[in-house]
Amino acid sequence: MKVHRNQIPVEGLHLEGTESSQMLDLRDPGIQPAGDVRYSLDVGLSEGGLFATGSVGVDLDLECVVCLERFRYALEVPDFACQIELSGAESVDLTGMVREDILLALPPHPHCDWNGEKVCQGASLRAKTESAPEPLSETRDAWGALDQLKINKTN
C-alpha cells in the first residue's frame, strides 16, 4: 500500500480502496482472509513526515477454539494512525503498519458465538458435561486429612 508523497496536496489526501489480503501473510490455518483489506485513510505531510489516519479492515474466516467450526469475522480497526519519517523516497509504503494493526486486532481466542447470532455447540456440550464441584459438608473437615499425617521429627 504505497502512497506517492508528491501527489499529496497541502490540505491532505483522502484514500479509499482495497489491497490484496496477501499483504497480511497469514500462515495460520485457523485464520484465513475471506476478502481484500479495506482502507479509508486521510494522508498528509507534516515537517518531514507523512501521517495517515482512518480505518482499515478485512473479513476473516476463523476457527472457533471451542467447537472448531469455521465462521466469518469482520475485523475492523477504526482508529488506525501512523507517522512515518520521510527519507527522500518519492513513495512511502504503509503496508507494514496496516498489517501490524490488523494482526494486533485479531481475537486471541475466536469464538463462533462472538456476535450473539448463534450458540456455540461446543460451549453448550461443555456446559452439559461439566458439573459443579461438591461443596464441603459440615461433617467433613477440610483439615482432617492433615491431622492424620504422621510426621517424623528428627532433631
> What gap in Å lies between CA 53 and CA 93, rounded to an integer?
14
Q: Which pLDDT tens digit goes with each residue over 101-136?
A: 999 999 888 888 887 778 888 765 555 555 555 555
* CA-based nearest residue to 31, from 107, 117, 104: 107
C-beta separation of 94 from 1 below 8 A: yes
Averaged pLDDT score across all residues of the chain = 83
pTM: 0.70
C-beta separation of 75 from 36 below 8 A: no
Asked if residue 33 has pLDDT above 80, the reply is yes
Q: So what's the pLDDT on residue 132? A: 52
Q: How far is CA 130 from CA 19, 124, 127, in A?
A: 45, 10, 5
Beta carbons within 8 Å of 32's beta carbon, 6+ residues apart: 26, 60, 61
Q: So what's the pLDDT on residue 40? A: 94
What's the CA dihedral at 56, 72, 32, 35 to 10 degrees?
A: -50
Q: So what's the pLDDT on residue 16? A: 93
Asked if residue 42 has pLDDT above 90, the reply is yes
Look at strands 13-19 and 37-46 and give their pairing: antiparallel
- Look at residue 152 and give its three-state secondary structure: coil
Which of 5-9, 27-31, 78-82 is most confident? 78-82
Mean pLDDT (whole number) for 55-77: 92
- Secondary structure E strands in the chain: 2-4, 13-19, 31-33, 37-46, 49-63, 70-85, 91-93
